[in-house]
Amino acid sequence: MKKLVIANQESAAGYVFAKTLVWRAAPALCGIKAGNLFSVRQSDFCEREFCDCAAALESFGIQSAFVQGRRQRIVAIFYDADWVQKILSSPCVKKYLLQKGYSNCGPCGAISVQDFVKKICSKIKSGAAFPHEVGLLLGYPLLDVIDFERRGGRGCVHCGSWKAYRDVESAKKLSLLYKECSERCLRLFERGFSIKEIICYGKKAVKAA
């Protein structure tokens, strides 16, 4: 397999960002999670690295975006557009988003993934309260997203990849699956595997599990 040559691999910022990407976004990259979001210090963000990785990930159906967040941090988002679109098409999700001000999300159709991500990024950039609906982009259950917002993150029954308030057993299993995926992909990265190779190996491992 031909390796993907990652720009600025030897630079500190390029290496740190690529490593963070593999560790924090592995579940989405390997197809077991709708999306992943993480932030890095602006000094650790490498836009050229991001663009090269984003281009490589498109062949796997993974879309991406980044936006300037608070406190000199860059927020990076990676997501499976088809998966997220299915989430946004749920009647309950559409009703929730209408209440959150997504006016182009009516009963006859869901908001597009692109518009949803644009609005999420706009809210993050504005510096206002963090948009809780981003949990939908990350594949979290709607009821957990709602409960997290209502309770201010308090009183959850399980705290793993997200704060779960209802289906604890499912949350535990998925959190463990995500953690194992990230650890496996990080080991491959540290052995010198390319992003494309890591995804291919990661997907095989998921199917074999």
pLDDT, one tens digit for every residue, the chain (209 residues): 334 444 444 467 778 888 999 999 999 999 999 999 999 998 888 888 899 889 989 999 999 999 998 888 999 999 999 999 999 999 999 999 988 888 766 555 678 999 999 999 999 998 777 899 999 999 999 999 999 999 999 999 999 999 999 999 999 999 999 999 999 999 999 999 998 999 998 888 877 76
Rounded to whole angstroms, the maximal C-alpha distance in the chain is 50
3-state secondary structure of 80: strand
Distance CA 76, CA 165 (A): 26
> Tokens in use for 180?
């194992």
- Residue 141's nearest CA partner among 87, 68, 182 is 87
Quote the CA–CA distance of 26 and 36 in Å, as a whole number. 8
Q: In whole angstroms, what is the distance from residue 188 CA to residue 133 CA?
A: 32
Task: Scan for tokens 């009963």, then name that residue.
Answer: 107
- Report which DSSP code applies to 42: G
pTM of the model: 0.88
